[in-house]
Every structure is written in structure tokens, then in C-alpha cells.
Amino acid sequence: MRNLFITFLLIFFLILIGFFFNEQIIKFSLEKIFSKWIKRDVEIGIVETDIQNNYIIIKNIEIINQKKSQIKNIFKIEKIIFDLNVKKIFERKIYFNLISIENSNFVFEINRIKNNMYEDNINIIEKISSNKPDKIWPKKLIDINFEIKNLYIKDLNVELITNLTNQRYVTYLESIQFENIGNSKDITHYKDGIKILANLIFLKIPDNELRSNLFSLYGLD
């Protein structure tokens, strides 16, 4: 969690820097920050800023897969739009009016490695299983929260690759919207948002047995 706070804080200040300085600075910095955070190489094509509307637009993002994978990229995203609320900085919160993720391709790999042990290509099993059911909000080392008023995911293509069936499945989600999501109290926690998204993806898998197994592995209803 501490790394997540630091990452959003750095992104916040980099966006501010990008409004006033060379956009190549923010492009290079974001590549380094995201690569370190998710422990995957991240490549960004273009960064554009709109000072009047507090927008930053990132285009042609690629997140490189693990070396042992047959697929080069985990994620390819055509465009992400950030609408930053600069005034909220004085409330000790990183606040986005809007984040819109548009035209993306996600390759999700999950394999049984032995007996009841599984692994996937973004370690999401470990992240979801670490979420405590009692939802205790621990004291933060850095008292900074983030909140996204509107999060849109548009035109998401998902390819599922697994040795559980030795088949590939392709699904498509046209539009998903989350309102008031982040890590503050009284809003939808981002981990719950991940679960909702996984639920929507898995529901589109035609293989009933595989779908049931995935729901069980990821603790979904």
C-alpha cells in the first residue's frame, strides 16, 4: 500500500511538472515510475498536456510481459486521459475528476504449476488474497489518499491463456464505469474494483468448469 501512495503522489507532481515543462520529462519519468511499481518494463509513446483543462493524455502504452511468457505485452493501451483536480492537493488527497482508459488489449495468463499451486502473469492472485475481509483501514505511513471521481474503461479486449484447458479465450467489454473509487473511506476501494472487473471478464468465459475454477481461485462471488 505504501508504494501505491508514493506512486500516485509522484504521478500527481509529475502531471503538474508536465503542464509547465517539456512533456518528454513526464514521459520518461512515468516510464520509470510505473516500471518500478509493477516490476515490468513500461513503454509510453506520447504524452500530451492541456493546461486550460488540467488534462494529461498518455498514448500508446505497453506493459511488457514476463520473459518466460510467449506473449510480449501484458497490456497495450491506446490512450489514457487524466483530469486532475489541482485544488484538492490542499486536502491531503490526490483527486482525479476523471481517468479514462481507452482501447486496450490485456493478455491474462494463469497456469497450474503443481498440485494446487497457481501463478498468473501479474501476480493478481496474491494481491486479491491479501485483502482482509474485515476491511480494517490501517494507519498509513504516509497520510495521503487518492480518489477518482469517474473511472472509465472503454473497449477492453481480454485474451485469457491457461494450461487448465490448453485453450485461449477472447472476451470484450465495451464500457465499464466506476464512480468514487480509490483508497479513502466511504468510497469503493480499488481492490474491490479489481474484483468487479475480474468478475465481468470471467463471466464471459464459455467454459463452465474453467469459469467456476477461476471464480474460486480469485475469491469471487
Question: Which residue range(s) make up the domain with 151?
Answer: 2-217
Number of domains making up the chain: 1
CA atoms within 13 A on the CB side of 85: 18
Q: Are 126 and 132 in contact (CB under 8 A)?
A: no
Q: What is the pTM of this model?
A: 0.79
For the beta carbon of residue 167, count every other beta carbon within 10 angstroms.
12
Query: Is the four-CA dihedral 111, 131, 40, 108 of positive or negative sign?
Result: positive
For 54-110, the pLDDT digits (tens) are 788 999 999 998 767 778 889 999 999 999 887 776 677 788 999 999 999 999 998
For 139-181, the pLDDT digits (tens) are 544 556 889 999 999 999 999 999 888 788 999 999 999 999 9
Residues paired with residue 161 on neighbouring β-strands, in sequence order = 109, 168
Distances (CA, A) of 38 to 7, 83, 121, 174, 204: 10, 23, 11, 26, 27
For 192-214, the pLDDT digits (tens) are 998 899 999 999 999 999 999 99
Would you call 205 exposed, middle or buried from its count of C-beta atoms within 10 A (0-12, 13-18, 19+)? buried
Q: Which helix (H) or strand (E) holds 186?
A: none
